[in-house]
Structure 1
Amino acid sequence: MAFILTKISVWLVFSLLVGSFVVGTSGSDFNKDFQIIWGDGRAKILNNGELLSLNLDKASGSGFQSKNEYLFGQIDMQLKLVPGNSAGTVTAYYLSSKGLTWDEIDFEFLGNLSGDPYTLHTNVFSQGKGNREQQFKFWFDPTADFHTYSILWNPLNIILSVDGIPIRKFKNLESKGVPYLKYQPMRLYSSLWNADDWATRGGLVKTDWSKAPFTASYRNFKANNACVWSSGSSSCASNPQPSNPWLNQEIDPNGEKKLKWVRKNYMIYNYCTDAKRFPQGFPPECNML
């Protein structure tokens, strides 16, 4: 599979080389942190809790959720996506609350024909309102090895990163009338499912079930910097921001350079530039990205 790098500086090459190891090589236990919620045995926790696999066949996909709920956190997970012809499949990895006015932060990995890059689809829902899609191609093969996908969610902003490289930020703009995600605790979910009515080239390419089962793998979950929500209170209540500096973290100047590099070279859709979709004007947050 060919992936073309464009005008990349030395510091970014270094970031890419070490980025897959942002999370350590051991320490997480899926038995302790997660529960399988659907799939009739297609989801499996392996290697004494160090590895989790989701499988999809023609009968069903599979999924899991975190045992904890969080109200702010730095969430890291390493994923290795479905290899080969994964057209029609979607691997979803996201934080979400419940109810009609839910909050949600999405990574969705849209499958491909062999040889074509995956599409990384992102979205942010606040109080039930989404329609904030941004899509990217990868600068590496996400099926060849594990890579780290991170969500930093604090009172100031949401930052989505891949191997430590920011790809998207969503600022708290309540002062501009944009609801922010700060009142509803969320669980971490992931699922592998069939979406061949839209996932690959708008549904033109269907799932090839002769390639099933399709498998996505997970390891090295990390939520050390996270506020666990339990019985109506946060674990960070007794450890305010001076003890949790990540609660004030924003993208630094070096991170802004990386974010611009991703947007320039790998962003393929941005709702904030889709004038046909918003003929009356773009959402207010688009002026602050």
Structure 2
Amino acid sequence: MFLLSSRRKMASRQMCCISFGLLMLITLASGAAPRKPVDVPFGRNYVPSWAFDHIKYFNGGSEIQLYLDKYTGTGFQSKGSYLFGHFSMHVKMVAGDSAGTVTAFYLSSQNSEHDEIDFEFLGNRSGQPYILQTNVYTGGKGDREQRIYLWFDPTQNYHTYSILWNLYQIVFLVDDVPIRVFKNSKELGVKFPFNQPMKLYSSLWNADDWATRGGLEKTDWSKAPFVASYKGFHIDGCEASVQAKFCDTQGKRWWDQKEFQDLDSYQWNRLRWVRNKYTIYNYCNDRTRYPAAPPECKRDGDI
């Protein structure tokens, strides 16, 4: 039905109730400390990837807008490729009648059996809620969609969408609230992204064959151009060449430390809140597509 698609160690585990965003402000006892996300110009980390004339720049490049019309959408990508880290973007989604449009923010490797970590925001008819779809590809296999309604209107203000990726887990966060965890389940025979550097991408494009109500709602081009706004182009990752198989800083960066190998109790509670109140689809529970739940769904992360 739904095919496609955070130099001193923690003084105390009492800090478990602090979100990933606040943990970025805390110093650790050894190793590199988390860097507080700062607003940096688009051009420091990113370049346009297609339809350059559909990207507009504001405030010295600290803010950009992507435009979609009946001729084309547009997108951009990171200059570097990364193997693990913390990546975030402040985005204000297409307002009004955005049915048929998709605004995407994701990491992807370049090989045919590629790894990919996706945020996809599916447009709506005016008055209906946006749907946020997440997906994880490992070794070229995806079909791990989850969909939620957001608890705010993402078109009115900027909100922060983040990915924490290390050897232990992939965490999707919205305004520092975990909305999904994909745990490393290699002991269950499930591939996990660990040796293919990935670039970051974002795009605004037309997908009215599937994006809104399974393709029933088509893009109304009389409402074009559709505009998505971006700022806060934060990257804190291990940069590697496309040919690199391993990052030589594994185990030394803040995201590898114990505090980031699992969610704390507060974060698990927030994740359950999202699951209970806002989740509208989870591939782990889809017995039409998966008569037997996929192996990773047996873990506490993807249930």
198-207 vs 159-168, greater mean Cα deviation: 198-207
CA contact (8 A) 2:85 2:166 kept: yes
Does residue 233 of structure 2 align to residue 221 of structure 1?
yes
Structure-2 separation of matches of 1:169 and 1:207 = 32
Structure-2 separation of matches of 1:111 and 1:77 = 18
Match of 1:147 among 125, 146, 159: 159
Structure-2 separation of matches of 1:153 and 1:81 = 24
CA contact (8 A) 2:136 2:144 kept: yes
Which residue pairs with 2:293 in the alignment? 282
CA contact (8 A) 1:26 1:50 kept: no
CA contact (8 A) 1:227 1:235 kept: no
Which residue pairs with 1:92 in the alignment? 104
Structure-2 separation of matches of 1:217 and 1:185 = 27
Secondary structure class of the residue paired with 1:254: helix
CA contact (8 A) 1:31 1:45 kept: no
Cα–Cα, structure 1 residues 233 and 275, in superposed 2: closer, same or farther, change >3 Å? Answer: closer
Identity of paired residues, percent? 51
Structure-1 separation of matches of 2:145 and 2:133 = 7
Structure-2 separation of matches of 1:102 and 1:235 = 16
Runs of 4+ in 1 over 3 A off after TM superposition: 22-27, 231-236
Structure-2 separation of matches of 1:124 and 1:244 = 23
Cα–Cα, structure 1 residues 236 and 207, in superposed 2: closer, same or farther, change >3 Å? Answer: same
Match of 1:126 among 126, 138, 160: 138
Cα–Cα, structure 1 residues 231 and 139, in superposed 2: closer, same or farther, change >3 Å? Answer: closer
Structure-2 separation of matches of 1:114 and 1:56 = 17
Match of 1:246 among 227, 235, 255: 255
Does residue 32 of structure 2 align to residue 32 of structure 1?
no
Which residue pairs with 2:280 in the alignment? 268
Match of 2:204 among 192, 196, 205: 192
Structure-2 separation of matches of 1:154 and 1:24 = 18
Structure-2 separation of matches of 1:27 and 1:37 = 21
1:28 corresponds to which letter in structure 2? V
Does residue 220 of structure 2 align to residue 230 of structure 1?
no
1:267 corresponds to which letter in structure 2? T
Structure-2 separation of matches of 1:130 and 1:231 = 21
Structure-2 separation of matches of 1:287 and 1:231 = 33
Unaligned 5+ segments in structure 1 are 1-13
Secondary structure class of the residue paired with 2:88: strand
Q: TM-score, normalised by structure 2?
A: 0.84
1:186-241 CA-partner distances (Å, limit 9, x unpaired): 000011001111111111111111110000011011123x111137459962x552
Structure-1 separation of matches of 2:250 and 2:282 = 35
How many residues in Structure 1 have an aligned counterpart in Structure 2? 268
Secondary structure class of the residue paired with 1:188: strand
256-265 vs 39-48, greater mean Cα deviation: 39-48
Structure-1 separation of matches of 2:205 and 2:39 = 28
After TM superposition, give the deviation of residue 45 of structure 1 in Å.
Answer: 2.9
Unaligned 5+ segments in structure 2 are 1-17, 26-34
CA contact (8 A) 1:228 1:234 kept: no
Match of 1:115 among 119, 122, 127: 127
